[in-house]
Structure 1
């Protein structure tokens, strides 16, 4: 596969980059895109073969399904069901941003993200380029742009070096502003639980929840 790289320095370059990424996604190809945390490798969440290709490109198995990025908080209810109040409070406070929430998925969804056990991990990134792409493609399965076991790419050079053989388009928007992965919170139970520490701390999350009489538990 030929990997094309697009920069986003001017409005015209940005439009070309977004359009190339959208067309690649629609063809079932993989794309590297910038986010507010680290660079991601993306596939159409509803394209089973594309998602399988994403996992293969990273060297991952089905036991590590990718999260789904969305362009709007309203999309959460299209993908998830039985979303608890504390999860909605966190989403309201930290989306767009480095928070991934795991919820029960809508049973009607026709997709295969891997061995999700009936759940979906959802995030809305705080990055203009990423959201512009998402607004045109709909939900994307997105994992950090790296080979499993390697550090996540924080710029397009690192991502391209690891993944150029697997992706059709690399969107280069410079250095990732965050550089640290999102915090993942399991919201499938009565009390939320941090599954991965990231850009948001337990203290920041609980600061939102404590006035509501709720708190999260941390990793053991």
Structure 2
């Protein structure tokens, strides 16, 4: 497992390119984002996405998350984007608001199966974490994202635990030291113009209502 200190990674274009190269080569990267470490992989690479699943020993129907860089990239992953969802996107992305969509049917078969296994939908957002956003932009494709912990276990804020859990499974680890867990994103679904809050989080429901009525 290669290790780069977070400060080095965020202040070097060469280090950023190295992260993207690892993703392009089918590797799994672990990095800090919004108070916890995340495992990321190129969404277009079936083997890389499966590598994340296998590293986590993930078998339960946990919801999936994808990061995109912009609304155009969203269209490469999601189908049937409701106008109300577009309204939320324009006002609240980048930000801690995850919106669940139908996954495009032309995604790689095994990737699509993983994405929709839990809920029939895929959760997507533009990350407000600047470093993560830069990585997605530089890669030029959506990334698959999962918390850096084993199935039903904690440890996603501890570099020591991550090195123990994922030794040999991660191509590159961006080490920012121990993290203080932050609030989770708010998760919503939008269907036929109706918005349903699936999970309360950083964006309050009142803000969503206010945005839609503006």
TM-score class, shorter-chain normalisation, is 0.7 to 0.9
- Partner of 2:30, secondary structure, is strand
Cα shift at 1:103: 1.0
CA distance in 1, matches of 2:134, 2:199: 27
Are residues 148 and 96 of structure 1, via their aligned partners in 2, closer, same or farther at CA, if it must alter by over 3 Å? same
- Partner of 2:149, secondary structure, is coil
Greater Cα offset, 144-153 or 87-96:
144-153
Match of 2:205 in 1: 202
Match of 1:136 in 2: 138
TM-score normalised by the chain length of structure 2: 0.83
**Is contact 1:90–1:205 with CA below 8 Å preserved after alignment?**
yes
Deviation digits for residues 142-166 of structure 1 (CA, Å, limit 9, x no counterpart): 0112222233624645543433332
Match of 1:116 in 2: 116
Are residues 16 and 135 of structure 1, via their aligned partners in 2, closer, same or farther at CA, if it must alter by over 3 Å? same
CA distance in 1, matches of 2:41, 2:154: 20
Match of 1:52 in 2: 50
Deviation digits for residues 93-143 of structure 1 (CA, Å, limit 9, x no counterpart): 221111111112222223514161663321111122111211122211001
RMSD of equivalent CA atoms: 2.7
Match of 1:40 in 2: 38
**Is contact 1:57–1:163 with CA below 8 Å preserved after alignment?**
yes
Provide structure 2 residue ranges, at least 5 long, that are not aligned to the other structure.
none
Are residues 176 and 127 of structure 1, via their aligned partners in 2, closer, same or farther at CA, if it must alter by over 3 Å? farther
Q: How does 1:166-205 map to 2 (within 5 A)?
A: 166-173=169-176, 179-188=182-191, 190-205=193-208
Cα shift at 1:189: 5.0
- 2:148 pairs with 1:148: no
Cα shift at 1:38: 2.8
Greater Cα offset, 5-14 or 50-59:
5-14
TM-score normalised by the chain length of structure 1: 0.81
Normalized per residue, which structure has more strand?
2
Are residues 116 and 11 of structure 1, via their aligned partners in 2, closer, same or farther at CA, if it must alter by over 3 Å? closer
Cα shift at 1:181: 2.2
- 2:85 pairs with 1:87: yes
**Is contact 1:98–1:181 with CA below 8 Å preserved after alignment?**
yes
The number of equivalent residue pairs is: 209
Provide structure 1 residue ranges, at least 5 long, that are not aligned to the other structure.
213-220
